[in-house]
C-alpha cells in the first residue's frame, strides 16, 4: 500500500494534482498603466481575479461572461435553480430551503493559500469540511460479502497487523542491516504505540486495540457498564477485500485536514468577487471570434438572451479564461504554438449527483457526521454534509462523484433522471435507508455543461513538456489564464494563481512599453 500510494502521489504531483500552492501574498502591480484597457473573457475565479486586481491597478476593465451568473465552475445548486445541459435536458432543483449541492469545487485544502487569502479579504466565512470521518464506510462489492466496513476498523486493523509483522521481523534480527540496535528498540516502541500492540507486540482483541478501533460494547454508567473489547478483522480479509485502497483518500497531501468550505455554499466565493467587480461584467455573452492587431484586441460575441446582430468589444489587451474545450472551437488570432497548445489538452470527465432525503439517517442511524464513504460501485463515493449536525430534519448527500474512466462516461451518457435513479440504487447497497427516505435529486455531468464541456484540464506529462509553456505565453496582446494554465488543475487555487501570474506579466509589459 505504501509503495502504491507513493507512486500515485508522485504521479499526481507530476500532473499538478498534489502540488502545493505557490501563493506568496497579495500581488503588487506598481507603475502607471496610463489608461490601458483590458478585456477579460470569462467571469470564473480566474477572470474575476484579473478584473479585481487590474482595476485596482488603474486599468479600464470589462468582462464578458457566457452564463447569467458569476463564478463559472464555482457553482452551487439550491432549490429553485434551473439549468439546461448539452442535448437540451433541463433540471429544476427542488431542494428544501437551506439545502444545496456544489457540483463543481466543494472543498478547499489548508495549503491553498491564494483562495484562503481572497476569502479573508473578501469576507467569505469558512467552516471545516470533513474529509475524514473514521466512522464512515469503506465498501467493496467483493469484500466481506458486500457489507460496508467502518474506516476506523480497516485503518486500525491494517496498521495493527502490519505493525505486528514488522515487530516480529525486528525482534528476529531481520532488520539488523537497516537499523541500529538503539533505533531497533525505539522502532519497537513506536510500532507498539502506532499499531496498538500489546505487551508481547501482538495485535489482537483487547483493551489496547479497542482503544483505537472502538469497543464491541462501549463503556456506560451504573451496573453492567464495563466496556467489551472488539474483535479485529483478520489481515487476510483486509488484503483480499482491497478496502485498504480507500485509506489513501484522506492521507494524500491534497486531502489532508484541515479542509474548508464556505458557509452557505461554494458560490459564496464567486458572489464575493462579483460584489467587487460585478459592474464590469456583461452576462449572456457568447464569444464567437477573438481578433488582435498590433494596436489592440477585438472580440465578437452574441447576446444569448437577445440573439441578433453580432456585438463587439475592444481593448488594448485581452485575458482569456475560456476553457480550452470551448476556446478550441473559437477562431482566435494566435500563433501556431499557442493554437496547438489550446487544442492539445482534453478535459477530465466528472459527474456529481446531489440527493435530498427526508431525514438525516446517516447521523440518526449510523452516527456519521460529515466525511466520505468510498466504494467500488459506479457512484465511487458518498459525501455527508459538513454542516447542520444533529439538528434533524432533511439533508442532502453527495450521492455520486465520478472522476474520469468508464463510470463517468456511462453516467454522462444517461438522462439526468436515470443518473439520479442509479445513484439511489447503488447507494442503497451501502445505506439501505435510501429507498424509503429519498425525495429528490439533481445530477451534473460536466461533459454536458455548455460553458465548459468537461470538468478540468487533463494534462499528461508529455503534453505539459510540449505545450504548457506555449499555452501560458503572452501571444501579441492575448494571454490565457485558468486552472488549465496551472500545475494545480481542477482546483480553484490553480485558476487564481494562473490569473495572478498572467496579469503580473501583462502589467510588466504594459508599464515597460
pLDDT band at 99 (very low <50, low <70, confident <90, very high): very high
Is pLDDT above 50 for 8? no
Segments forming the whole domain that contains residue 300: 19-66+268-344+457-512
CA 449/CA 91 separation, integer angstroms: 12
pLDDT band at 14 (very low <50, low <70, confident <90, very high): very low
Residues 261 and 390 in one domain: yes
pLDDT at site 20 = 63
**In the listed set 425, 448, 471, which residue is the last one of a domain according to the structure?**
448
Is pLDDT above 60 for 97? yes
**In the listed set 448, 466, 486, which residue is the last one of a domain according to the structure?**
448
Q: Is residue 11, in this structure, part of any structural domain at all?
A: no
Residues 282 and 322 in one domain: yes
Q: Is residue 246, in this structure, part of any structural domain at all?
A: no
Could you give the percent of the chain with pLDDT greater than 90?
A: 91
Per-residue exposure over 6-36, b if at least 16 CB sit within 10 Å of its own CB, e if not: eeebeeeeebbbbbebebeeebebeeebeeb
Residues 376 and 261 in one domain: yes
Task: Locate 2 and state its grid cell.
Answer: 505504501
Per-residue exposure over 433-446, b if at least 16 CB sit within 10 Å of its own CB, e if not: bbeebbebbbbbbb
Q: Is residue 210, in this structure, part of any structural domain at all?
A: yes
**pLDDT tens column, 290-317:** 999 999 999 999 999 998 899 999 999 9
Residues 166 and 307 in one domain: no
Q: Are 263 and 43 in contact (CB under 8 A)?
A: no
Could you give the percent of the chain with pLDDT greater than 70?
A: 96
Residues 283 and 217 in one domain: no
Residues 226 and 116 in one domain: no
Q: How many CB atoms lie within 10 A of CB 158?
A: 21
Residues 474 and 402 in one domain: no
CA end-to-end distance (rounded Å), the chain: 55
Residues 339 and 355 in one domain: no
Q: Is residue 248, in this structure, part of any structural domain at all?
A: no
Residues 169 and 282 in one domain: no
Task: Locate 321 and state its grid cell.
Answer: 479564461
Q: Is residue 9, in this structure, part of any structural domain at all?
A: no
Q: Is residue 468, in this structure, part of any structural domain at all?
A: yes
CA 319/CA 47 separation, integer angstroms: 8
Mean pLDDT of the chain: 94
Mean pLDDT along residues 89-102: 98
Is pLDDT above 50 for 2? no
Domains: count for the chain: 3
Q: How many CB atoms lie within 10 A of CB 278?
A: 15
Q: Which of 35-44, 135-144, 235-244, 247-256 has the lowest mean pLDDT?
A: 247-256
Rounded to two decimals, what is the model's pTM? 0.93
pLDDT at site 1 = 36
CATH code assigned at 420:
3.90.660.10
CATH code assigned at 165:
1.20.1440.240
**pLDDT tens column, 324-380:** 999 999 999 999 999 999 999 999 999 999 999 999 999 999 999 999 999 999 999
Is pLDDT above 90 for 175? no
Amino acid at each position: 500500500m505504501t509503495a502504491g500510494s507513493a507512486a500515485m502521489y508522485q504521479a499526481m504531483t507530476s500532473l499538478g494534482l498534489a502540488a502545493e500552492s505557490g501563493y506568496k501574498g497579495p500581488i503588487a502591480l506598481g507603475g502607471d498603466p496610463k489608461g490601458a484597457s483590458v478585456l477579460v473573457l470569462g467571469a470564473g475565479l480566474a477572470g474575476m481575479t484579473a478584473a479585481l486586481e487590474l482595476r485596482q491597478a488603474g486599468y479600464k476593465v470589462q468582462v464578458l461572461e457566457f452564463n447569467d451568473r458569476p463564478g463559472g465552475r464555482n457553482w452551487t445548486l439550491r432549490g429553485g435553480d434551473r439549468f439546461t445541459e448539452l442535448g437540451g435536458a433541463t433540471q429544476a432543483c427542488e431542494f428544501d430551503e437551506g439545502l444545496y449541492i456544489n457540483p463543481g469545487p466543494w472543498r478547499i485544502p489548508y495549503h491553498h493559500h491564494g483562495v484562503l487569502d481572497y476569502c479573508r479579504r473578501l469576507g467569505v466565512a469558512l467552516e471545516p469540511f470533513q474529509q475524514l470521518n473514521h466512522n464512515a464506510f469503506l465498501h467493496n462489492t467483493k469484500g466481506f460479502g458486500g457489507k460496508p466496513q467502518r474506516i476506523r476498523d480497516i485503518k486500525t486493523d491494517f496498521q495493527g497487523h502490519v505493525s505486528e509483522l514488522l515487530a516480529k521481523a525486528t525482534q528476529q534480527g531481520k532488520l539488523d542491516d537497516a537499523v541500529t540496535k538503539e533505533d531497533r528498540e525505539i522502532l519497537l516502541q513506536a510500532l507498539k504505540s502506532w499499531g496498538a500492540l500489546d505487551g508481547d507486540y501482538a495485535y489482537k482483541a483487547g483493551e489496547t486495540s479497542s482503544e483505537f478501533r472502538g469497543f464491541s460494547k462501549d463503556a456506560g454508567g451504573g451496573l453492567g457498564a464495563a466496556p467489551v473489547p472488539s474483535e479485529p478483522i483478520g489481515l487476510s480479509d483486509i488484503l483480499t477485500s482491497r478496502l485498504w485502497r480507500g485509506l489513501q483518500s484522506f492521507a494524500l497531501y491534497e486531502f489532508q485536514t484541515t479542509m474548508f468550505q464556505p458557509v452557505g455554499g461554494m458560490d459564496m466565493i464567486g458572489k464575493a468577487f462579483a460584489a467587487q467587480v460585478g459592474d464590469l461584467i456583461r452576462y449572456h455573452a457568447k464569444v464567437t471570434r477573438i481578433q488582435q492587431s498590433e494596436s489592440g484586441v477585438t472580440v465578437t460575441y452574441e447576446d444569448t438572451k437577445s440573439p441578433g446582430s453580432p456585438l463587439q468589444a475592444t481593448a488594448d489587451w485581452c485575458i482569456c479564461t475560456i476553457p480550452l474545450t470551448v476556446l478550441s472551437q473559437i477562431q482566435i488570432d494566435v500563433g501556431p504554438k499557442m493554437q496547438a497548445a489550446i487544442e492539445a489538452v482534453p478535459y477530465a470527465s466528472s459527474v456529481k449527483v446531489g440527493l435530498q432525503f427526508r431525514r438525516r439517517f446517516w447521523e440518526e442511524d449510523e452516527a456519521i457526521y460529515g466525511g466520505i464513504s468510498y466504494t467500488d460501485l459506479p457512484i465511487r463515493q458518498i459525501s455527508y454534509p459538513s454542516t447542520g449536525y444533529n439538528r434533524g430534519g432533511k439533508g442532502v448527500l453527495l450521492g455520486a462523484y465520478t472522476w474520469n474512466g468508464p463510470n463517468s462516461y456511462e453516467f454522462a451518457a444517461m438522462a439526468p433522471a436515470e443518473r439520479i435513479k442509479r445513484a439511489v440504487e447503488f447507494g442503497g447497497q451501502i445505506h439501505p435507508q435510501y429507498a424509503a427516505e429519498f425525495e429528490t435529486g439533481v445530477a451534473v455531468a460536466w461533459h454536458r455543461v455548455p460553458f465548459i464541456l468537461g470538468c478540468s484540464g487533463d494534462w499528461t506529462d508529455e503534453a505539459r513538456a510540449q505545450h504548457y509553456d506555449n499555452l501560458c505565453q503572452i501571444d501579441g496582446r492575448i494571454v490565457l489564464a485558468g486552472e488549465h494554465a496551472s500545475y494545480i488543475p481542477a482546483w480553484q487555487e490553480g485558476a487564481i494563481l494562473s490569473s495572478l501570474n498572467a496579469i503580473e506579466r501583462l502589467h510588466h509589459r504594459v508599464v515597460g512599453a
